[in-house]
Amino acid sequence: MKFIGKILLSLLLVLVLFIVLIYVLLQTSWGAGWIGKLVTRHSNYQLSLGKIDHSWSKLSELAFDNIAFGQKERTPTLVAKRLVAGFSSRQLTDPYHFERIRLQDGTLNLDPASLAFPLQADVLQLNGMAVQSPHGEWHLNGQNVSAGITPWKPENGFPLGRSARFELSARSLTLNDMPAENVLVRGNINNQQLTLDDVGADLSQGQLTGNARREQDGSWQVDNLRLSNVRMQTELSLEQFLKQISRVPKITIHRFDLIDARMEGKSWAFSDLDLSLRDITFQQGDWSSEDGNLSFNASELVSGPIHLSDPIASMNFSPSGITIGQFSGRWEGGLMRTAGQWLRDGKRLVLDDFMMAGLEYTLPADWRQSWQKPLPAWLAGVAVTKLTASRNLLIDITPSFPFQVTALDVSARQLELVRDHRWGIWSGNLNLNGSDATFNKIDIRRPSLALKADEGKIAISEASAFAGSGLVELSGSVSQQPERAFTLRLSGRSVPVNLMENWGWPALPLAGNGNLQLNLSGSLAGSTSFKESISGQLRAVDTRGNSINQTMVNGDVSASDAP
């Protein structure tokens, strides 16, 4: 019996020595490398270890230094200077489940296409980690990230697990090419639903705070979002910028506030912008709302050729469209103000009252071409119930036919300016008056014009101006049909007989003042040469009784009855 006892004691001592040897060897570089090769050879993963460390003062923890882990033939999922795993009694029944896993100073690559970690933990901690997710719907790159995830049970397509609570802070984080600093996020995951209870970040030199949630169908509910003191520059156009920040199938905004923002992009800019948006849903380039509203004010707003100073607006949204309670601003040195509504049915903008005063506006060089271009799909019609303008200056610097009208006053009723996405004067009454005007170097005084438009034509019922020491009067009409056929009748009394020379009619062999009678017809269609479409007759009589009759055909004087 003593012999058997000695043998058993010896075997026990050998076993203890063997365990101690293994314990010591595993904490060497050779042992760590052997473990890494063993996992790599017998699994779908690749593991590299620099060292394994264990302290008797922390019996339930095991540390791994310089660890790299991931799916074979893929970018490593985890690279860290240190991984600390906390054990519990649960290891006896579930060896891959840990009480706590802490990752420190490394990179975590969250690729939904990669196989899930074979590990789980009650708590996953990140300290000073870089987190990357370059694939999928959200492109994420975070630096110096500290986070806690409870519990952590990763699955294929769910690198953080199907159900977890998390807290995250990052020195810098870029999400879909939008950089932010000093980020703090708290929330939870429940299958495809993501709830962000608190979000805070420094964004474009400003501050972002809010909370939101992503539903299982991929749509977003933004309960509260606030951006203040943003200073942002981008090379994107306004349309491209809005598409970039709304790369989700559907987003409902219950409250969004933008405070003291300065933003600049390609052909657009806002300065000192305050904006408040409530209860609206955006989806696939469209919007819907039951009772939403928008209000904003800014010191400057630039969009393409439009430059507004001190714009103020308030709008209400409903299923039928947008009610514009107020829109005002300073434009081209003057003041403009309007109210009305945009109707979803028919995509029509109806302005109840549109007022302009004190404008000094120079028409763009391509205004004639722009006038003929169709408007976007969302604007099929524009109508103005009442239009008033006073003391305005209108200038066209086109070299072929420049003009200028000073102290221009306008009044109109029931004016339809856009129909089927095209500009025009489709219906209504319009009156224009000015103090002075110049048309291609010909000065006139007190010009006035009254016209009426209907389905068939635009009729000039009354038009007059003083030229030289006499009076010019004209009348005519323009067809509403695509060919835009027009007729014009002009009469002048005691006016310069060569009044028409700078307006396109050849010089007459007369001098001084006299009386004129002109009848013209032609086409204003954009596809037709204006000059070549002109035909007409001119009769001129000077103060000495000399007279001349000329006929123009296709822009050329073909017959002349000289004195």
Banded model confidence at residue 2, pLDDT cuts 50, 70, 90 = low
The residue segments making up the domain with residue 500 are: 457-563
The top-scoring range by mean pLDDT among 185-189, 232-236, 239-243, 363-367 is: 185-189
397, 423, 455 - which closes a domain: 455
Phi and psi angles of residue 297, each rounded to the nearest 5 degrees, phi first? -150, 155
Q: 496 and 402 in one domain?
A: no
Q: Which tokens is 2 given?
A: 């003593």
**DSSP three-state, residue 191:** coil
Q: 472 and 446 in one domain?
A: no
Q: 527 and 542 in one domain?
A: yes
User: 387 to each of 331, 413, 432, how far by Cα in Å?
Assistant: 16, 7, 11
User: pLDDT higher for 176 or 503?
Assistant: 503
State the pLDDT at residue 12: 58
Query: Which amino acid type is present at position 136?
Result: G
* CA distance linking residue 34 with residue 26, whole number of Å: 8
* CA distance linking residue 113 with residue 165, whole number of Å: 22
Residue 22 parent element (H or E): helix 2-26
Q: How many domains, the chain? A: 2
Average pLDDT, the chain: 86
Question: Residue 527 domain-assigned?
Answer: yes
* CA distance linking residue 125 with residue 105, whole number of Å: 12
CA dihedral 230, 233, 239, 244 (to 10 degrees): -70
Query: 247: closest CA among 131, 136, 342?
Result: 136
The phi-psi region of residue 399 (left if phi > 0; otherwise alpha if psi is between -120 and 50; otherwise beta) is alpha
Query: 29: closest CA among 53, 7, 5, 6?
Result: 53
Banded model confidence at residue 330, pLDDT cuts 50, 70, 90 = very high
State the pLDDT at residue 18: 46
Count the neighbouring beta carbons within 10 Å of the beta carbon of residue 391. Answer: 15
Question: Residue 371 domain-assigned?
Answer: yes
455, 485, 514 - which closes a domain: 455
Count the neighbouring beta carbons within 10 Å of the beta carbon of residue 174. Answer: 16
387, 422, 455 - which closes a domain: 455
Q: pLDDT digits over 436-472, tens only?
A: 999 998 999 999 999 999 998 999 988 999 998 899 9
Q: 427 and 470 in one domain?
A: no
Q: 451 and 397 in one domain?
A: yes
Q: Are 87 and 93 in contact (CB under 8 A)?
A: no
Q: 544 and 437 in one domain?
A: no
In eight-state DSSP terms, residue 174 is E
Q: Which residue has the tokens 């009848």?
A: 519
Q: 466 and 441 in one domain?
A: no
Q: pLDDT digits over 111-165, tens only?
A: 665 555 678 889 999 999 998 877 666 678 899 999 999 998 888 777 788 899 9
- Mean pLDDT throughout 348-370? 91
Q: Are 257 and 276 in contact (CB under 8 A)?
A: yes
Residues of the chain above pLDDT 90, percent:
49
Count the neighbouring beta carbons within 10 Å of the beta carbon of residue 178. Answer: 15
Of 24-33, 143-152, 487-496, which range is least confident? 24-33
* CA distance linking residue 148 with residue 434, whole number of Å: 73
Residues 6+ apart with CB under 8 A from 120: 94, 96, 97, 98, 151, 152, 153, 154
Residue 463 parent element (H or E): strand 457-467
Query: Which amino acid type is present at position 304?
Result: G
Cis peptide bond prior to 151, omega within 30° of 0: yes
Q: pLDDT digits over 48-82, tens only?
A: 888 877 666 666 778 888 888 888 877 788 888 98
Q: 487 and 443 in one domain?
A: no
- Mean pLDDT throughout 380-392? 95
Of 96-105, 257-266, 490-499, 528-537, which range is least confident? 528-537
State the pLDDT at residue 320: 94
Query: 485: closest CA among 521, 529, 526?
Result: 521
Question: Residue 411 domain-assigned?
Answer: yes
Q: 426 and 524 in one domain?
A: no
